[in-house]
Structure 1
Amino acid sequence: MTAERTGQRIQQALDALADSGADAERAGEQLVREIIGFHGQGLARLVPALPPPALERMLDDPAVAGLLLLHDLHPEDLAARIDRALAALPERVEAAGFDPDTGTLRLRRTATGCGCGEREVEAALACHAPEVTAVELERAPQLLQIGTRPPQAAEAR
C-alpha cells in the first residue's frame, strides 16, 4: 500500500461518510481501518531499523508501547511488558501470578512505601500489557509491634 493509494482510499471513505446517512458507521469504520493500516505498515518498517538501545528506550514510553502493541510489533513478551510497567511505579510491586483466562494479575508489594492503589497499577499496565484486565494487590500482613509495656501496665504490678 502506497501513501498515495492510502490517501485516495481515505478520501473515498471521507466522501462516503459525508454523503451517507445510514452508511456513515460503515464508512467511518473503513476510514479508521485505512489510517490504522497505513500507520502499521510504516511502523513495521521503522521498528526493525532502530538500533536496539534506541528501541529499548522507546519501549518505556506508553504511547510508543501502545502503538507497537496495537500493530502486534512489540518485541517483548507479556511478562517483560508487565515488569516494565511495574518498574515505573513509585512503590515496588512484583507479579505474583497472571490468569490469562480472566486477565487478572496478582501483585505483591516488595517494599513498604506510600501505598500504590490498584488504579495506579492499572494505569501503568494499560499501555504496556492490555491483556491485564484486572489487578489484585495482595495486602501486606499486619505487623505486630513489640515494645515496652504501656505505663499503666507497669504501674499495676
Structure 2
Amino acid sequence: MSAPTVAAPVDAEQAGRRVEEVLDRLGASGDPAAATAAEELVRTLMDFYGAGLARILHLLSSAPGEPSAGLLGDELVASLLVLHDLHPEDRDTRIARALDSVREHALDVMTFDEESGTLRVRARAGGGCGCGSGADARQAAEAALACFAPEVRAVDVETAPVGPPLLQIGTAPTGTR
C-alpha cells in the first residue's frame, strides 16, 4: 500500500482570482461560444463540488461528537463552504471567528453595512502592543475575513477613545494637615 499523498496548499483567494482572469480572457477572445462553454464548465464543477461538500457536512453532522469543528476553523474549507452557501455558521459568527484569528489587533465589531459590505470595527485599548497602526489591523482583518466572511468587502477600523488624562494627586502642602 502506498503512502497517502498530501495536497499542496491552495490560496483560495488567489485561485478565485485566477478563475476570473481565465474567464475574462476567454470572454475577450472574441469567441462567444468558447466563453459560454467555459462559464458553463465552471458552474457545473461548482455544482459538482458543492454537492460533494454538502454530502461531507451531512455525514460529519451525523457522526458522534463534533468532528466538523476543525473543518470550520480551516480557511480553505471555510471559504469553500461559504462559496457553496453550505457554511453552518451565520455571518456574525463567521466574522467573530475571523477576527478572533487576528487577536493581536484586539478588534470589536461595531456595525456591518450589508449594502456596501463594510464592517466597522473598534480597536480595543490595550490590544496588542499599542504600537501597531490601524492600517495593519485593517489588512489583517480583511485577510482573515476574505476566507471566513467574503461578504465583508471593506473594513473600517476606529481606535478606541483614549480615556481622560490621569489626575496626579500629590501630598498636601505643608501645614494643612
1:112 Cα deviation after fit: 2.3
Structure 2 alignment gaps of length 5 or more: 1-25, 169-177
Higher relative contact order (CA 8 A, sep 6+): 2
User: The residue matched to 1:141 in structure 2 has which SS?
Assistant: coil
1:78 Cα deviation after fit: 0.7
The TM-score, its normalising length taken from structure 1, stands at 0.73
Residues 23-69 of structure 1, C-alpha deviations (whole Å, 9 max, x = no match):
11111111111211110111111101114622111111111011101
Match of 1:140 in 2: 160
Q: Distance in 2 between matches of 1:22 and 1:38?
A: 24
Q: Distance in 2 between matches of 1:22 and 1:122?
A: 35
**Structure 2 residue 134 is matched with structure 1 residue 119:** no
1:142 Cα deviation after fit: 4.2
**Structure 2 residue 121 is matched with structure 1 residue 107:** yes
Match of 1:152 in 2: none
Match of 1:128 in 2: 148
**Structure 2 residue 39 is matched with structure 1 residue 29:** yes
Match of 1:53 in 2: 66
1:104 Cα deviation after fit: 1.2
Contact 2:105 2:137 in 1 (8 A): no
* Amino acid corresponding to residue 23 of structure 1 in structure 2: A
Contact 2:72 2:78 in 1 (8 A): yes
Match of 1:73 in 2: 86
1:144 Cα deviation after fit: 6.5
1:22 Cα deviation after fit: 3.9
Q: More displaced, 73-82 or 29-38?
A: 29-38
* Amino acid corresponding to residue 105 of structure 1 in structure 2: L
Match of 2:75 in 1: 62
Q: Distance in 2 between matches of 1:142 and 1:102?
A: 29
Q: Distance in 1 between matches of 2:154 and 2:32?
A: 37
Cα RMSD after superposing both structures: 2.3
Q: Superposed, which structure 2 residues align to 1:87-102 within 5 Å? A: 87-89=100-102, 90-102=104-116
Q: Distance in 2 between matches of 1:37 and 1:97?
A: 33
The TM-score, its normalising length taken from structure 2, stands at 0.65
User: The residue matched to 1:126 in structure 2 has which SS?
Assistant: helix
What is the aligned-residue identity percentage? 45
